[in-house]
Amino acid sequence: MEIIESIENMQRRADELRSAGHTISLVPTMGFLHEGHLELMRVAKKHSDKLVMSLFVNPTQFGPTEDYGQYPRDTEGDLEKALGVGVDMVFMPSVEEMYPEGSQTKVHVERVTQHLCGISRPTHFDGVTTVVAKLFNIVKPHLAVFGQKDFQQLTVISRMVMDLNMDIKILGVPTVREPDGLAMSSRNNYLSDDERKSALCLKKSLDLANKMFQEGERGAGIIRDAIESLIRDHPFTDIDYVSICDSTSLEDIGIMRDESLVALAVRVGKIRLIDNRVLRKN
């Protein structure tokens, strides 16, 4: 497994691979890898013959009061896991390499960034699209793989790729969960035992929404109220948003469609967790 820290070297290796006829896939990560990340790598490997993982905790996608400084890191463990799933190259630049003094360009996607997480994290998606666009120009992948756990992120990146005519296929991978249903996240480790129990309310509320929908409920407000009251019954929780929305535009809806997205962000103790589920008629 090659470890590459400089943009110049990564671009040169990407050119060499492309000239030799290889297809390159990219899985961007912020590290502290878990099974969810590894599943993305396995999917990427199936669709390409050279797999690049990027490992970069991107400061520009954290707000001024968010946990950039405390974001968990374990480079050694991450490299071991990457090797275990057959990653060919790890691109792990420094912050200075990615954002040298004088950088002043951002990629901004308009409407789909305005809903859900965009409301309480107004600068987050500009940070995401800018770093992902840079990674695409550095790694030059044919394919990039993202998790559906970050549904809005996947929507925003797909929109960017379409709007900027980037010649890259985007694949979304279903959310990988702990045996009890909690969506895997690098931040789960920070939950205390009692908070960890309460955190199950996210998955429980998505299941409740699905049950109500399958039993014929079509009022989005009624389903949202039921979710909010289920979450409030769990200690340590503080709802950031519960949204029932169009799964493409991410705009809130009043009446359930044949396909609708339920998306949640809930603070459990100090940790902000997100989860989502697309509801479709069975």
Task: Give yes or no for a contact between 181 and 62, defined as CB atoms under 8 angstroms apart.
Answer: no
Minimum distance from CB of 186 to ligand AMP (Å)? 6
Q: Of the two residues 17 and 274, which places its CB atom closer to ligand AMP in the complex?
A: 274
> Is residue 274 involved in binding ligand AMP (CB under 6 A)?
no
Q: Which one of residues 30, 51, 89, 132 is an interface residue with ligand AMP (CB under 6 A)? A: 30
- Which single residue is written with the structure tokens 């589920």? 277
Q: What's the rounded Cα separation, in Å, for the pair 96 and 282?
A: 50
d(CA 49, CA 99): 30
Q: How far is CA 238 from the centre of its chain?
A: 21
What are the strands, taking DSSP E only, across 12-125? 24-29, 50-55, 89-91
Residue 81 makes contact with ligand AMP by CB under 6 A: no
User: Should residue 51 be labelled a site residue for ligand AMP when binding is judged by CB under 6 A?
Assistant: no
Phi, psi dihedral angles at 242 (to 5 degrees): -125, 120
Q: Which residue, 84 or 219, has its beta carbon nearer to ligand AMP? A: 84
For residue 106, which phi and psi values (nearest 5 degrees)? -130, 155
40 binds ligand AMP (CB under 6 A): yes
Stretch of 16-24, 36-44, 85-93, 250-258 contacting ligand AMP, by CB under 6 A: 36-44
Task: Work out whether 184 is an interface residue with ligand AMP (CB under 6 A).
Answer: yes
- Cα of 234 vs its chain's centroid, Å: 25
**What is the C-alpha separation between 168 and 124, in angstroms, rounded?**
22
CA angle 226, 274, 94 (to 5 degrees): 170
> In whole angstroms, how close is the CB of 37 to ligand AMP at the nearest point?
5
Nearer to ligand AMP, 44 or 220 (CB): 44
Confirm if 273 and 257 have CB atoms less than 8 A apart: no
Tell me which of 113, 155, 186, 247 binds ligand AMP, using CB under 6 A.
Answer: 186
> Is 34 an annotated catalytic residue?
no
Please identify which residue in 125, 136, 146, 213 interacts with ligand AMP, judged by CB under 6 A: 146
Would you count residue 151 as binding ligand AMP (CB under 6 A)?
Answer: no
CB 126 within 8 A of CB 160: no
Nearest Cα neighbor of 271 from 108, 66, 107, 116 is 66
Distance of closest approach, residue 82 Cβ to ligand AMP, in angstroms? 12
Q: Exposed, middle or buried, 278 (CB in 10 Å: 0-12/13-18/19+)?
A: middle
Q: What is the pattern of x (binds ligand AMP, CB under 6 A) and - over residues 90-129?
A: ----------------------------------------
Q: Is 155 in the site for ligand AMP (CB under 6 A)?
A: no
- The beta strands (E) that lie in 74-176 are given as 89-91, 143-147, 169-173
Residue tagged active-site, from 22, 34, 37, 234: 37
Asked if residue 36 binds ligand AMP (CB under 6 A), the reply is yes
Q: Judged by CB under 6 A, does residue 150 bind ligand AMP?
A: yes
Whichever of 184 and 245 has its CB closer to ligand AMP, that residue is 184
- Chain residues that interact with ligand AMP, rule: CB under 6 A: 29-30, 36-37, 39-40, 146-147, 149-150, 173, 175-176, 183-186
> Hey, which residues are catalytic here?
37
